[in-house]
Amino acid sequence: MNPSIIGQMAVSGALMGLVYALIAYGFQLTYATSKSINFGQGELVMISAFFSLTLTNLGLPYWAMVPGGLLFGAVMGLVVERAGVRLALEQKSEGWILLTIIIGLFFFSTAENIWGRDDRPFPTPISADPIHIFGVDVTRLELAVAVGVLGIMGLIELFKRRTLLGKAFEAVSADRDAAELMGISATRTVMLSYGLSGAVAALAGILVSPITTVGPTMASAIILKAFSVAVVAGLDSGFGVVLIGMFLGALESLSSFYLGSGWREAPGLILLILALAVRPTGVFGKAVIRKV
Amino acid sequence: MLQVEDLYAGYGASEVLTGTTLSVKKGTLVALIGANGAGKTTTMRAISGGLKPSKGKVVLDGKEVQGLDASRIARLGLAHSPEGRKVFGPLSVEDNLLLGAYSRLPRFFGFHAKAQADLDRVYDLFPKLKERHKQAAGTLSGGEQQMLAIGRALMARPKVMLLDEPSMGLAPVIVQEVFRTIRRLKEEGITLLLVEQFAKSALEVADYAYVMERGRIAVEGTPAELSRNERVIAAYLG
Ligand SMILES: Nc1ncnc2c1ncn2[C@@H]1O[C@H](COP(=O)(O)OP(=O)(O)OP(=O)(O)O)[C@@H](O)[C@H]1O
Ligand SMILES: [Mg+2]
């Protein structure tokens, strides 16, 4: 084995893993405020990528396409919340699980009807030429993934800690009823979390598309791994999803290199099974401590 | 300032409140006492919107608020410090206080400066909270959490404040401190509805009191009147 190849594989895998981390982070956002997640998030990633591709094809420059794509993702997140989650939560039912899956299927067939079934390249001004850092080659595209993922997560964390609206978001996550007594609308806060989650998913699509191409099924494998990362890291640790995402990405890149690409999905599944067996609250999840 | 008229509310099929009527005049402290399970907490939740009343009226400063969302009622000037305190455990003491003033503050920037005067007032009332302003609220002692819950309600500059069992689960010395605080709030002219297990202490600070039994007001009057009422003496002051 050549150590520099191992390093190379691990680094580019880890950078891809940040995409899983970002989608998993989106799950955490909505889970925090409403104890619900969008099971059709993969389709949201995909449809936002298609929309962004269309913006690009219409001649929008990259810097204008990205906010457009994020806005689209946010709006789709709000659609999911309104159509699939709110009523179910108001009735204290688990209906949101099925409803979000169905909305995902609806996004899927909409995308097929509008854009067709073929995978398409996603043009980007960021070059795929490798640059040499610390003994490994990384492409600017891969670096853009890292910058984009860590950048938006950092911004959202800053928002939660530094603004009053962000603190209200945390308050609803901690105790919804008590937050309402402060004049904070829990419904609006849940909407906010779905909007952010949608924007984050759209960014994941925009960042990963130049590497994977855009197609109706582009996110089906990615989303499974994002679920694994969310479950393994726990649904409350943003730091945890980054670490686990990078770890899983590196692991699958190495195993597909050494064992063959058919084994690519294996590490994620094994990790998921182990995590569920050993620590159902996640490696970084806190057990909830309540003082009575 | 607050009127509750013929209020019905409950959980699912079981009606707990069956025609509760009470009122709190501006600048007065009204006590609501009664046995465990009488419906005192349910009354407070039906007033502040955590529970939707099935019948009856809640009038806050001349405006009917029954059926509105809790957050809306809070923005209209009602602060409810709930049973069990319910501070935001993972957030700092200061963040808890700032959130108390949520409806009056800008959402993004400058909220801290705008709340400074109110923060100083609460810190002046509870120096312990100032000492621990950066600490996570969940790590405070029970007494400190109660002070925080009261401080948080004060931050709203409410028209009416509901205090549900502020002495619950606290050591006797701390209970005395809680009652001293309540007295101070009263001196500052805050309109208060207080639910308390310690009926005797509650009657000492109150201007008027209601005794609740099985979802209704059974007896009402000034503390002096209630202290002469044999039924009340036997059940709550003995
Ligand atoms: N969440 C709930 N679901 C169902 N029933 C409830 C709920 N909360 C309270 N109850 C019932 O409503 C009745 C009144 O309860 P409530 O909490 O209002 O009493 P309380 O006067 O505040 O008593 P305590 O002094 O013990 O706090 C009780 O019989 C209780 O069992
Ligand atoms: Mg009670």
The mean pLDDT value for A45-67 works out to 95
CB–CB of A101/A214 below 8 Å?
Answer: no
Instruction: Give me the residue from B72, B74, B108 closest to A165, CB to CB.
Output: B108
Q: How far apart are CA A158 and CA A126, in angstroms?
A: 27
CB–CB of A218/A46 below 8 Å?
Answer: yes
Q: How far apart are CA B71 and CA B2, in angstroms?
A: 17
Q: What residue's CA is closest to ligand 1, atom 16?
A: B39
A255 C-alpha to center of ligand 1: Å? Answer: 57
Identify the band that residue A290 occupies on the pLDDT scale cut at 50, 70 and 90: very low
Identify the band that residue A287 occupies on the pLDDT scale cut at 50, 70 and 90: very low
Q: Which of A54-58, A103-107, A270-274, B58-62 has the lowest mean pLDDT?
A: A270-274
B167 C-alpha to center of ligand 2: Å? Answer: 12
User: What does the pLDDT read at residue B220?
Assistant: 92
Using the beta-carbon criterion (under 8 Å), do A183 and B156 form an inter-chain contact? yes
Using the beta-carbon criterion (under 8 Å), do A181 and B99 form an inter-chain contact? no
For the cut 80, the answer to whether the pLDDT of residue A108 exceeds it is: yes
Q: Which of A35-39, A171-175, B149-153, B199-203 has the lowest mean pLDDT?
A: B199-203
* A290 backbone dihedrals φ, ψ, rounded to 5°: -120, 130
Asked if the C-beta of B103 comes within 8 angstroms of chain A's C-beta atoms, the answer is yes
Distance of CA A57 to the CA centre of its chain: 25
User: What does the pLDDT read at residue A1?
Assistant: 57
- Name every chain A residue with its beta carbon within 8 A of the beta carbon of B41: none
Using the beta-carbon criterion (under 8 Å), do A184 and B99 form an inter-chain contact? yes
Residues forming beta bridges with residue B5, ordered by sequence position? B57
User: What does the pLDDT read at residue A288?
Assistant: 41
User: What does the pLDDT read at residue A278?
Assistant: 76
A114 C-alpha to center of ligand 2: Å? Answer: 57
In percent, the amount of chain B with pLDDT more than 90 equals 85
B230 C-alpha to center of ligand 1: Å? Answer: 26
pLDDT digits (tens, 9 = 90+) for B79-119: 999 999 999 999 999 999 999 999 999 999 999 999 999 99
B67 C-alpha to center of ligand 2: Å? Answer: 21
Burial per residue of A49-64, b for 16 or more beta-carbon CB atoms within 10 angstroms, e otherwise:
bbbbbbbbeeebeeee
Mean residue pLDDT across chain A: 89
Tokens encoding A141:
């595209």
Instruction: Give me the residue from B90, B107, B169 closest to A165, CB to CB.
Output: B107
Q: Helix, strand, or coil here: B138?
A: helix
Instruction: Give me the residue from A185, A289, A290 closest to B71, CB to CB.
Output: A185
Q: What residue's CA is closest to ligand 1, atom 10?
A: B11
pLDDT digits (tens, 9 = 90+) for B151-203: 999 999 999 999 999 999 899 999 999 999 999 999 999 999 999 988 889 99
pLDDT digits (tens, 9 = 90+) for B117-151: 999 999 999 999 999 999 999 999 999 999 999 99
Q: In which order are the strands placed within the sheet that holds B55-60? A: B14-24, B2-11, B55-60, B63-64
Domains of chain A: 3-118+129-278 (1.10.3470)
For the cut 80, the answer to whether the pLDDT of residue A3 exceeds it is: no
Using a 10 angstrom Cβ sphere, with 0-12 exposed, 13-18 middle and 19 or more buried, the burial of residue B17 is buried
Test mutation, B71, B133, B159, B161, chain A, max A CBs within 10 A: B71
Ligand 1 site: residues with CB under 6 angstroms?
B 11, 16, 34, 36-42, 83
Q: How far apart are CA B183 and CA A118, in angstroms?
A: 74
CB–CB of B56/B66 below 8 Å?
Answer: yes
More confidently predicted of B62 and A9: B62
Question: Which mutation among B11, B18, B193 tests ligand 1's pocket best, with the greatest number of atoms within 8 A of CB?
Answer: B11
Three-state secondary structure along chain A?
CCHHHHHHHHHHHHHHHHHHHHHHHHHHHHHHHHCCCCCCHHHHHHHHHHHHHHHHHCCCCHHHHHHHHHHHHHHHHHHHHHHHHHHHHHCCCCHHHHHHHHHHHHHHHHHHHHHCCCCECCCCCCCCCEEEECCEEEEHHHHHHHHHHHHHHHHHHHHHHHCHHHHHHHHHHHCHHHHHHCCCCHHHHHHHHHHHHHHHHHHHHHHHHHHHCECCCCCHHHHHHHHHHHHHHCCCCHHHHHHHHHHHHHHHHHHHHHHCHHHCCHHHHHHHHHHHHHCCCCCCCCCCCCCC
DSSP strand pairing (B63-64 vs B160-164): unpaired
Residue with tokens 């005797």: B200
Q: Give me the CATH topology for the region B2-237.
A: Rossmann fold (3.40.50)
For the cut 50, the answer to whether the pLDDT of residue A289 exceeds it is: no
Using the beta-carbon criterion (under 8 Å), do B49 and A167 form an inter-chain contact? no
For the cut 50, the answer to whether the pLDDT of residue A292 exceeds it is: no
Q: What one-character DSSP code corresponds to residue B28?
A: -
Q: What residue's CA is closest to ligand 1, atom 28?
A: B37
Report how far apart, in Å, the C-alpha atoms of A82 and of each of A12, A85, A182, A188 are: 38, 6, 24, 11
Mean residue pLDDT across chain B: 93
Q: Within 10 Å of residue B188's Cβ, how many Cβ atoms?
A: 11
For the cut 70, the answer to whether the pLDDT of residue B238 exceeds it is: no
Asked if the C-beta of A132 comes within 8 angstroms of chain B's C-beta atoms, the answer is no
CB–CB of A9/A180 below 8 Å?
Answer: no
pLDDT digits (tens, 9 = 90+) for A82-105: 999 999 998 888 899 999 999 999
The answer, yes or no, to whether ipTM is higher than 0.90 is yes
The mean pLDDT value for B192-215 works out to 92
